[in-house]
Amino acid sequence: MTIWHVAVTGHDAHRGDEGAPLRTINAAAARAMPGDTVRVREGVYREGVRPPRGGLSDTRRITFEAAAGESVRITGAEAVTGWTRAEGGVWRTQAPHALFGAFNPFAQELWGDWLIEREGQRATRGAVYLDGRALRQVYSLAAVVSPERRETVVDAWTDTPQVVEDPRWSQAVWYAEVGDDVTVIWANFLDVDPREALTEVNVRPAVFYPERSHIDYITVRGFELAQAATPWAPPTADQPGLVGPHWAKGWVIEDNTIHDSKCAAVSLGKEISTGHNFASVRGDKPGYQYQLESVFEALEQGWSRDRVGSHVVRRNHIYDCGQNGVVGHLGAVFSTIEDNHIHHIGDAREFDGFEIAGIKLHAAIDVRVVGNRVDHCTLGTWLDWQAQGTRVARNVYHSNTRDLFVEVSHGPYLVDHNVFASRVAVENFSQGGAYVNNLVSGVVRCGQVLDRVTPYHRPHSTAVRGFANILGGDDRWIGNLFTGADVAGALGPRAIWRDAAPAASGASAYDGCPAGWDAYLEAVNAEEGDHERFGAKRQGVYIHDNTYANGARPFAGEVGARVVSEPVTVTVLEREDGLWLETDIPDAVAAGVVGLVTAADLPRVRFPDADFEDPDGSAAAADRDLVGAPKAAGARYPAGPLAHLPAGRTRIPIHR
C-alpha cells in the first residue's frame, strides 16, 4: 500500500511522498492504485477531483482523506476581484470567460423533468459567495438595487408559507449577464465591502465525481467539499452531485462537511444512458412513463447488487443546497445513510420543483436511513417508488415543512423509533409499510394513487416481480406516540392531493380502511369477477397499541389504543451542545404499554408477498430505541421512540 501525499506547497512533478508532496489531488488520483491512500494536507484546493480508477474490493479500496486534525477544503469555486461601485450603490465586476473554461455555469439554466419553471425567473447553475456564504440570484439589475425583503416564502407543494430565518441575507443578491468574452456580475452585499472580503463564483460542475461510471470502492473522508455548479437532478436524468460515485459500487463518503451545491450534494443516482429528461425534451410521454422505462433500461445494463450501490454515507454535515442533501435513483440500492446532519436544503427557494428533499431516493431497495438529523428542509426524507426492504430508523426530523413522504411504494418498509416533530409528520401514498415506536407531533396523511402502476421486486433484489397501483392501506402502526397536530394550519388550500387525503391528527387518517386482512377479504369477496372485485378498495390495516394525546384520534378499528386526557408536551430543543427532547408527560404516557416489535408482529405485505426482513434475509426487529438503547423480548416499553421515558418534566439528549 502506498500513501500519496498532497500539499499546497507541493508540485505535481514531485515523488508524492511526505517529503516531496504533490500539489493537486487529481495528480495523486492519477497515481493511486487499489489499496492506496491519498492523504491531503491543510489548505484550499480549487479543483474538481475526477478519480480515473477505483479499488477492487472493500479491503482493496482507494482512500482519499484529509490529514488528521487538518482543515482541507476542496471547492468548485474561484475567487473573483475587481469590484467597483455601480449605479444604485451595488457592486459590479467582470469575470473573463477564461475563468470558466468550456463550462460557464452562469450561461447554464436549470432545466429538466419536474422542475417548475417560472416566467422570467430561470435560475442558472451559477452562484456568488461572500466569505463562503451564497447570495440569492435575482433576475434584473433593478432587483439587485432594491431586493425584495423575503421574510416568508411559499412552498410549491403545500402552498404554505415558510419563514426565512435570516431575512437580512435574503437581501444579499446577485444578477449576471453573459457576454461574448466576459460575464458581468452585479451584487448587493448590503453593508460589506467585497474588496475587503473573499468573493467567489462557482466554476466547476462537481467537486469529487468520476467522469465515467463503475469507478468502484473509493473512500472520501474528512474534507470540506463545497460550491459546485450541479444541474437539476430528477430521477429521469443523469444525476451528478457535488460528490458521488457516478453509478458504481462500494463508495464510503464519511466525516465530511458538504455544502453549497446548486442542486444535489451527495449523489448516489442514475447515470445518463438510461434516459435524460426525455419528458421535457420530447414532450410525448409523461415523466412517469420514462421513469418506468429507465428501470428496465438499467436492468438490461446490469443493474444489480454485484455492480451498483452498497454505498455508505455517514457522519457528514450537509447543508445549504438547492435540491438535495442526498439524491439517488436506482444507484442507491443496498446503501446506508447514517448519522448525518442534513439541514437547510431547498429553503433558499431560488427554484422550485417536485424532487426537492433533504434525502430523496427512488428505488431505495434494502437502504438504511438511520440516525440522521434532518431539519430546516422543505421536505426531510422522500422515498419515491420502490421503497422495498427500506428502513428509516432513529432519525430526528424537526423544523421542516414536511418530515417524511413515502410515495408509490409497495413495501415492505419499516419506519421505527424516529422523531417527526414538524407540522406535517408523515405523508403516505404507498402501501406495505410498518410504523413502529415513533413520536408523531405533526399531521398524518395517507391516500391512494390509482393512475401510476409502479414496480415491486423479489426480496433483496433488483429483479422486478410485478406492478400495481397504490390502493392504500396494508400498513402497520404499533406503539407510536401521537402528541396532537394543527390540522387546520398544516396544509394550504392548494396542497397536492389535499382532497384525496385530508390531514388528520393520529391514525384516524386510516378511517375507512378494513381492520385487518380478514375484513379486507370479506369486502372483496362479497363481489364477483377477477380484478373487478378488488377495484379501488383500500386494503386492510393493522393498527394497535398506539398512544394519543392533545386531541389526536385513534383509528376507528384500533385495538389497544390509549387516549390520554392530560396535556402532553414534547418539544425538540436545539442547543449548542446538541439536540434535546424536552418533555412534560403524565404517568400514563411514561408507562410500559407495548413490547418489542419484531417481524412476527408485522403481517406479510400483500403485493410483493414478502416479510419484514433485514438485508441479509433475517427477520427484522425494532430492537433499538432512538438513542441506541437495546430492547428485550418480554419487556414492556412506553409508546414512542424512547425505551425509557420519565414522567413529569425532563430534558433528554437525543442527538450530539
DSSP assignment letter at 12: T
What is the C-alpha to C-alpha distance for residues 6 and 62, in angstroms, rounded to an integer? 15
On whether residue 41 sits in a domain, the answer given is: yes
On whether residue 341 sits in a domain, the answer given is: no
What residues contact 565, with CB distance under 8 A and at least 6 apart? Answer: none
What residues contact 99, with CB distance under 8 A and at least 6 apart? Answer: 78, 80, 201, 203
DSSP letters, 107-171, are G-B---TTEEPBTTB--BS--EEETTEEPEE-SSHHHHHS----SEEE-TTT--EEE-S-HHHHT
Q: How far is CA 213 from CA 50, 302, 611, in A?
A: 11, 12, 34
What is the C-alpha to C-alpha distance for residues 481 and 440, in angstroms, rounded to an integer? 6
What residues contact 15, with CB distance under 8 A and at least 6 apart? Answer: none
On whether residue 35 sits in a domain, the answer given is: yes
On whether residue 11 sits in a domain, the answer given is: yes
User: 548-569, pLDDT tens digit by residue?
Assistant: 999 999 999 999 999 999 999 9
On whether residue 89 sits in a domain, the answer given is: no
What is the C-alpha to C-alpha distance for residues 355 and 469, in angstroms, rounded to an integer? 21
What's the average model confidence in pLDDT over 279-287?
96
DSSP assignment letter at 590: H
Residue in this structure with the C-alpha cell 393493522, named with its chain if needed: 542
Contact 260, 154 (CB under 8 A): no
Beta pairing, strands 542-544 & 562-563: unpaired
Number of domains in the chain: 1
User: 52-64, pLDDT tens digit by residue?
Assistant: 999 999 999 999 9
pLDDT at 409: 98
Residue 198 has pLDDT above 90, yes or no: yes
On whether residue 266 sits in a domain, the answer given is: no
Contact 189, 27 (CB under 8 A): no
End-to-end alpha-carbon separation of the chain, Å?
35
What is the C-alpha to C-alpha distance for residues 238 and 226, in angstroms, rounded to an integer? 20
What residues contact 455, with CB distance under 8 A and at least 6 apart? Answer: 292, 295, 385, 386, 464, 465, 466, 467
What is the C-alpha to C-alpha distance for residues 61 and 63, in angstroms, rounded to an integer? 6
- Bridge partners (DSSP) of residue 224 are 73, 257
On whether residue 268 sits in a domain, the answer given is: no
Q: Which of 357, 398, 364, 401 is nearest to 381 (CA)?
A: 357
What is the C-alpha to C-alpha distance for residues 282 and 521, in angstroms, rounded to an integer? 44
Contact 606, 468 (CB under 8 A): no
Q: Rounding to the nearest 10 degrees, give the CA dihedral for residues 474, 477, 482, 486.
A: -10
User: 576-631, pLDDT tens digit by residue?
Assistant: 888 999 999 999 999 999 999 999 999 999 999 999 999 999 999 999 999 999 99
pLDDT band for position 488 (cuts 50, 70, 90): confident
On whether residue 421 sits in a domain, the answer given is: no
State the average pLDDT for the chain: 94
pLDDT band for position 196 (cuts 50, 70, 90): very high
Q: Which of 634, 612, 610, 629 is nearest to 621 (CA)?
A: 612
User: Is the entire prediction scored with pTM above 0.85?
Assistant: yes
23 is in which domain, residue-wise?
Answer: 3-75
Q: Which amino acid is at 146?
A: S
pLDDT band for position 16 (cuts 50, 70, 90): very high
